[in-house]
Structure 1
Amino acid sequence: MSKNYDFIFAGSGLAGLSLLYRLVKEKEFSKKKILVIDQFQKNQNDRTWCFWEREIGPFEQLVCKQWNSLRFFSPSVTREFALKEYSYKMIQSGDFYKHVLDFVGSFDNVEFLVEKIEEIGDNGNNAFIKTVNNIYKAGFVFNSTPLFHPVMSEENTLLQHFMGWFIQSDQPAFDAEVGTLMDFTVSQSYGTTFMYMLPTSENEALVEYTLFSEKVLDKSTYEVALRQYIDEKLKLDNYKILHREFGVIPMSKAKFPRFVGDKKHIINIGTAGGHTKASSGYTFQFVQGQVGKIVDALKKGESPLVPLSWRDEMFQWYDMTLLDVLLDKKIEGEKLFSLLFKGNDPERILAFLANESGFWEEFKIRNSVPFWPFFTSGMKEIYRKLR
């Protein structure tokens, strides 16, 4: 026998829980029946989210550390820059899950179900989810599972893959107020490769080995690179690994569908809805922007499928163009990012990567990189979109 709800969340990761949290805080939805389905319980600190923003965000109380100065290193460029408009922030997923689940647990109109989703569909009048035990129906399903992901291949997708260690040294070793956004002074033999380091105190830091390439590596390769960097660059002999992370984020030209079915009862959110930025892999701040628009639309009685603005479309074109340049190896990643950080105010690059830049800033950024590779990739992406 089927059960009926107003909203069903397929998946309880970053996107699903962000939307749920924002939704239940609004009195307009206090009587709505809500179901959250995931095959796993979210009770592990399985990832770290870092992002930059101008304002105080909806999860500001969960920020465990923020930086107002960052560094960029490559063989040809060394820059340390103060952030005047933005703050670079870190949130631990374990803190996020606990905070949201504790808060939402006080609402009796929200149910959680730990079951594997077998099918998500639309019968014309509403959306439905089929699990091994039952069928659940709702006016809208917000899906963040990979069920509707497009076909991704080495021709249209780079993988951002990384291994990170939270380390603790036995003596003060870090400037806790300055983070390293990218350090390209490491081997580029596997593709675009950089180290990322965020110190949380004088003795502790997240050190991450990150690559943009078509394939993931053997686990031992990441570990060797991390140990070499810690030994040779950070010059640490005695340290402990407090926590380990590994992740793979698709940076893809494949089109992630924003909705499923003609009736638009199934709305894809998060990575499933194309809200991982294709040119950088950053997700957190883009998910918050999407879920905020969904909540605003629902409060007005409008469709949660919020139309893309022409500026959204333009930033997508920028993303696809930059990604095509990297995919076709028209410019090596280390050289490209070196040119960007050498020829521009770094904070303007952050604004550009956050989809918050202005036309003049975008003009200067375009002029800081070789014209022909970006022109040909840009035209290629326009043609691909019009086909």
Structure 2
Amino acid sequence: MDYDYIIVGAGAAGLSLAYHLGQSALADQTILIIDPNHTRQNDRTWCFWEVGDGPFEAVVSRRWEHLWLYDKHWSARMAIAPYRYKLIQGIDFYQFVDHWLAQRPNITRLQGSVDRLVELPEGVAAVVGGRQYTARYAFNSVYRPVPTPPGYHTWLQHFKGWVIKTPQPVFDAEAATFMDFRIPQAGDVRFGYVLPFDTCTALVEYTIFSPQLVSQTEYEIGLQRYIAEQLGIDRYEITHVEYGVIPMSDVPLPLRPSPHVLNIGTAGGMSKPSTGYTFQRIQRQTRQIVASLTKEGHPFYRQPLFNRHALMDSILLNVLDAGRTPGHRFFANLFRHNPIQRVLRFLDEETTIAEDIALMSTVEMMPFAIAALAVFWGRMSSLGRREWEMG
């Protein structure tokens, strides 16, 4: 084999895996990273909450110990200790890992697109421009949308953000705005999101959870109105623009599409279906891969037979998709009637069953009970349909 591992894609998932491998007992393994992009841009921002320091603490550019939550009739500035809400700029992450990789002679970078991955008796080959590169295992981070079968749901988290600078101090620099639902919902889940860098500078995003994208003009009008009407800002300079789309889907993605290939990142289902948060789930998957390679000699870590948090994601998506209750009401009730630390653990899939019951007792039960039955019936119908087609 040419290499021990091939990593397809050099985004958050691919670079995180290479970095974690280099910090482990597998640091001397040979790795080929294939990605079509040669230049780096500050194309995204990752935010997450965490206790203590993480593996990329060196490039965390901002930390907040408080979060603002707003609904039309309620607001709160919540202390989130022992968590801190952290921000990593894409360009800082890329440059940090790129610099680290450049010092590792056992790691090779190749600019190009992988045409296909071909299974071999003892490994896998990545075909790039007609040439094959072989390895024991390949890790694919290139996400390709899949059809949504009956009984499943696909929504999108999509947003546009402006970094704005104001002539006078206007922002609470010690608290990020996590969700601000004081904006017209238009049948979707829409909220403002504010990450203040200081009292005069902040990233302000207009975020939508919905099945379909909207026009760029609609995001911009939404941003203008939110900044003027809710933030009360009439003079500002736009210094940077962000736009992103993250899948919110409970459609099972193939984690192991072939014997020597593992899908990682969003391609491996690491974007949380109910929120779109991805970065910390990537780090969790990466740690599992490295642990499995170290202990078992292969990357195919064990999956739980039943994942109740994934089921709850499906139920929430069904509630939203069928319009059983307004999404903003669900999220507002969740934060309003529970300790925020419990909610963050829930969103991180770290709550106990008792905590889950306590959380769900604070939201409208009937829409979720109906959604649970709909999800169960849809899955059974989908399974029966597949069995009939196979028969």
TM-score interval w.r.t. the shorter chain? Answer: over 0.9
Structure 1 residues 42 and 58: CA distance shift in structure 2, 3 A: farther
Compute the displacement of 1:55 (Å): 2.7
Compute the displacement of 1:150 (Å): 2.4
The one of 91, 94, 108 equivalent to 1:94 is 91
Moved more, 376-385 or 252-261: 376-385
**Contact (CA 8 Å) 2:7, 2:138: kept in 1 or not?**
yes
Map of 1:193 onto structure 2: 190
Compute the displacement of 1:75 (Å): 1.3
> 1:370-385 alignment to 2 at 5 Å?
370-383=364-377
Map of 2:278 onto structure 1: 283
Map of 2:9 onto structure 1: 11
**Contact (CA 8 Å) 1:150, 1:255: kept in 2 or not?**
no
Separation (CA, whole Å) in 2 of partners of 1:371 and 1:123: 51
Compute the displacement of 1:239 (Å): 1.2
**Contact (CA 8 Å) 1:12, 1:42: kept in 2 or not?**
no
Compute the displacement of 1:342 (Å): 2.2
Moved more, 217-226 or 296-305: 296-305
The one of 266, 283, 289 equivalent to 1:271 is 266
**Contact (CA 8 Å) 2:182, 2:230: kept in 1 or not?**
no
Compute the displacement of 1:34 (Å): 0.9
Separation (CA, whole Å) in 2 of partners of 1:218 and 1:11: 28
Separation (CA, whole Å) in 1 of partners of 2:370 and 2:134: 47
> Can you list the C-alpha shifts for 1:208-238, whole angstroms capped at 9, x where unaligned?
0000111111111111111111122222222
1:315 correspondence with 2:309? yes
Separation (CA, whole Å) in 2 of partners of 1:28 and 1:215: 43
The one of 131, 136, 139 equivalent to 1:139 is 136
Compute the displacement of 1:240 (Å): 1.1
**Contact (CA 8 Å) 2:25, 2:294: kept in 1 or not?**
no
Map of 1:151 onto structure 2: 147
**Contact (CA 8 Å) 1:72, 1:183: kept in 2 or not?**
yes
Map of 2:41 onto structure 1: 44
**Contact (CA 8 Å) 1:351, 1:357: kept in 2 or not?**
yes
Separation (CA, whole Å) in 2 of partners of 1:131 and 1:153: 32
1:108 correspondence with 2:102? no
> Can you list the C-alpha shifts for 1:229-253, whole angstroms capped at 9, x where unaligned?
1122222222111111000011012
**Contact (CA 8 Å) 1:37, 1:115: kept in 2 or not?**
yes
TM-score by length of 1: 0.94
Map of 1:207 onto structure 2: 204
**Contact (CA 8 Å) 1:127, 1:138: kept in 2 or not?**
yes
**Contact (CA 8 Å) 1:7, 1:138: kept in 2 or not?**
yes
Separation (CA, whole Å) in 2 of partners of 1:285 and 1:218: 30
Q: Which amino acid aligns with 1:334?
A: H
Length, aligned pairs only? 380
> 1:71-82 alignment to 2 at 5 Å?
71-82=68-79
Compute the displacement of 1:42 (Å): 5.2
> Can you list the C-alpha shifts for 1:72-114, whole angstroms capped at 9, x where unaligned?
1111321221112211000001000000010011111111111
Separation (CA, whole Å) in 2 of partners of 1:79 and 1:361: 22
User: Which residues of structure 1 form unaligned runs of 5+?
Assistant: none
Give the superposed CA RMSD: 1.8
> 1:324-335 alignment to 2 at 5 Å?
324-335=318-329
Separation (CA, whole Å) in 1 of partners of 2:296 and 2:302: 15
Separation (CA, whole Å) in 2 of partners of 1:153 and 1:162: 26
User: Which residues of structure 2 form unaligned runs of 5+?
Assistant: 384-391
**Contact (CA 8 Å) 2:63, 2:84: kept in 1 or not?**
yes
> 1:255-266 alignment to 2 at 5 Å?
255-261=252-258, 263=259, 265-266=260-261
Compute the displacement of 1:369 (Å): 1.6
Compute the displacement of 1:274 (Å): 0.5
The one of 159, 171, 174 equivalent to 1:174 is 171
Separation (CA, whole Å) in 2 of partners of 1:220 and 1:152: 28
Separation (CA, whole Å) in 2 of partners of 1:28 and 1:224: 50
Compute the displacement of 1:270 (Å): 0.4
Separation (CA, whole Å) in 2 of partners of 1:350 and 1:111: 38
Q: Which amino acid aligns with 2:183?
A: V
Separation (CA, whole Å) in 2 of partners of 1:171 and 1:153: 52
**Contact (CA 8 Å) 1:76, 1:338: kept in 2 or not?**
no
1:342 correspondence with 2:339? no
Separation (CA, whole Å) in 2 of partners of 1:146 and 1:177: 35
Separation (CA, whole Å) in 2 of partners of 1:358 and 1:21: 31
Q: Which amino acid aligns with 1:5?
A: Y
Separation (CA, whole Å) in 2 of partners of 1:113 and 1:292: 24
1:359 correspondence with 2:353? yes
Q: Which amino acid aligns with 2:266?
A: T
Separation (CA, whole Å) in 2 of partners of 1:58 and 1:372: 42
Compute the displacement of 1:378 (Å): 2.3
